[in-house]
Amino acid sequence: MHNVAARTDPGKKRPHNEDAMATLPEQGIYVVCDGVGGRAAGEVAAAICVDAFRAAAANIAQRVTNFNATPTLETRNSVLIAMDDACQAASRRIYETAEVEAKAGMTTTLVVAVFGSGTAFLCHVGDSRAYLVRNRQVHQLTEDHSMVNELVRSGKMTLVEARASRHRHVITRAVGLYPTVQPSLAAVDVAAGDRFILCSDGLSDVVTEDIIAEQGSHPSIEVGVEALLQAALDRGGPDNITVVVVDPSVGEPVDEAAARARMLETLFLFQDIPYPQRLQVSRIMQEHYFGPGDELFAAGALERRMYVILEGDVVVERNGTELARLTAGEHFGELSLIDSQPRSASVHAISFGSAISVSTEDLEVFCREEPLLGNMLLWKLMNVMGARLRATSEQLASLQASAK
């Protein structure tokens, strides 16, 4: 059972509260919605969305149980699929209700966190947010689907300008705007001592991350929630405010989680990519554990998958000849993502360790779902392969020169 505390408040400027929330600690599911569409309509949209996740709670919890028993890419993504299904059900029902009751524009934002064994699953739409507080430092786990955030990402607006913009509340995705919606889905490792904060923009718009880290780190989760709510009210409380704080009951040792996070940050796929986007990419990554002598793949295999070593050492061989030794942070097989030819070499481990991999199929699906981020990954892959080709050309030129 998780330790949770939650508060919602209309704020100081709004006559009614269009936010809605659900805390289901037995299923490990926590939901925050911020309704859009004016009095009654926004409240209805937010309530419908929360109800959709209540109705899906048993299914989601069962998939989390399956993941806990067998943590694989398939069981992990099964949880995210169930969360997406609940989101689609909510969007469809809100859209249909708006048509029947003549409440066009009735929509809601959404942020959901579901906790499994050492993993937090996230689903969000709009500008409600999820934060992670770890060692008194705060990390924003979700990226706003908003007009100003798109401008910031494209370099056309600074963060300071975004905070002051009169368009900062214009969201580019909302549950119920259409019968279907595209949520952002991610999974993040949970370390012992981690604290998760879900909130509507009534908090995040007026309370800085420094304050969220300070107040959200209070030893008493109940005191922390009250302090966060009061911080928003002290800054004018211009919007409805909802805060849900969760201390997960499970997690790997914090040193292991931190080391793993640092390793992922150094990978070429993740360099210069903001933390929330790295979490989105992580959902297509499969983890592999190996021991001395284990074969990751054999020459002639048709598998189309790139590998990155997280820890340990592997050997690349062809016809019994060692071509290279690779260690933590190094990668191989990236050419297979775009080339369907059989593997030209085999790879086996010479120590205990682990690796992550990305398949062509999963990468293609991801690029269709998240085209901007997918294109960024493809450019990174092209740069890596270009560097490999240049290095090979230089080696050939050097060999030709030495042969003369």
Strand partners, 5: 245
264 pLDDT more than 80: no
In a domain, 359, yes or no: yes
User: What is the predicted pLDDT for the residue at 230?
Assistant: 96
> What confidence tens digit (pLDDT) does each residue in 312-329 have?
999 999 988 898 899 888
Alpha-helical segments (H) within 21-156:
41-55, 57-69, 73-100, 147-153
> What confidence tens digit (pLDDT) does each residue in 246-259 have?
998 765 555 555 55
In a domain, 186, yes or no: yes
Element (H, E) at 332: strand 331-332
In a domain, 183, yes or no: yes
168/286 same-domain check:
no
CATH number at residue 359: 2.60.120.10
> What confidence tens digit (pLDDT) does each residue in 293-308 have?
889 888 888 888 888 8
CATH number at residue 179: 3.60.40.10
234/332 same-domain check:
no
57/166 same-domain check:
yes
62 pLDDT more than 80: yes
User: What is the predicted pLDDT for the residue at 342?
Assistant: 87
238/287 same-domain check:
no
> What confidence tens digit (pLDDT) does each residue in 208-243 have?
999 999 999 999 999 999 999 999 999 999 999 999
User: What is the predicted pLDDT for the residue at 383?
Assistant: 80
User: What is the predicted pLDDT for the residue at 255?
Assistant: 55
Averaged pLDDT, 202-209: 94
First to last CA, the chain: 73
> What confidence tens digit (pLDDT) does each residue in 114-140 have?
998 889 999 999 999 999 998 888 999
285/189 same-domain check:
no
99/182 same-domain check:
yes
- Strand, coil or helix: 349: strand
The token pair at 245 is 């704080």
Q: pLDDT averaged over the chain?
A: 86
d(CA 183, CA 191): 25
212/100 same-domain check:
yes
**Count of beta carbons in the 10 Å neighbourhood of residue 330:** 15
Strand partners, 83: none
32 pLDDT more than 80: yes
The domain in which residue 345 lies consists of 281-396
In a domain, 112, yes or no: yes
In a domain, 40, yes or no: yes
Band of pLDDT at residue 286, cut at 50, 70 and 90? confident
Largest Cα span, the chain: 86
Q: Of the spans 6-15, 279-288, 331-340, which averages the highest pLDDT?
A: 6-15
In a domain, 231, yes or no: yes
In a domain, 155, yes or no: yes
103 or 3: which leads in pLDDT: 3
For a pLDDT cut of 70, what percent of the chain falls above it?
88
180 pLDDT more than 70: yes
Q: Helix count (H) and strand count (E) of the chain?
A: 12, 19
311/231 same-domain check:
no
Averaged pLDDT, 244-271: 68
Give the total number of structural domains in the chain.
2
99/51 same-domain check:
yes
Angle at which helices 371-403 and 360-369 cross, to 10°:
140
- The structure's pTM equals 0.77
- Strand, coil or helix: 293: coil
User: What is the predicted pLDDT for the residue at 238?
Assistant: 93
User: What is the predicted pLDDT for the residue at 314?
Assistant: 94
112 or 360: which leads in pLDDT: 112
Q: Of the spans 271-275, 287-291, 399-403, which averages the highest pLDDT?
A: 287-291
188/110 same-domain check:
yes
217/315 same-domain check:
no
119/248 same-domain check:
yes
The token pair at 14 is 């709004």
d(CA 397, CA 395): 5
Band of pLDDT at residue 39, cut at 50, 70 and 90? low
In a domain, 258, yes or no: no
